[in-house]
Amino acid sequence: GNKYGSVVLPIELSTTDFNNIKNIASDLNKDVKLLERWYLLDDKLLPPAYKLKDPD
């Protein structure tokens, strides 16, 4: 079984959090394409934030 339960992604990330995660992943030579693919900047929010896309 899964010892720690399900891992749930945050629906929304602040631009600061998104950029920090992306920069740290890049520094660790991790591919950030999935992060960029699934989180889109919503500049209609105040303050703007990255939102997780619907899985269509």
Question: Do 1 and 38 contact (CB within 8 A), yes or no?
Answer: no
**Residue 44 DSSP label:** T
At 27 the pLDDT is 97
Residues 1-56 have pLDDT tens digits of: 567 788 789 999 999 999 999 999 999 999 999 999 999 999 999 999 999 999 87
Angle, alpha carbons 23-26-31 (nearest 5°)? 125
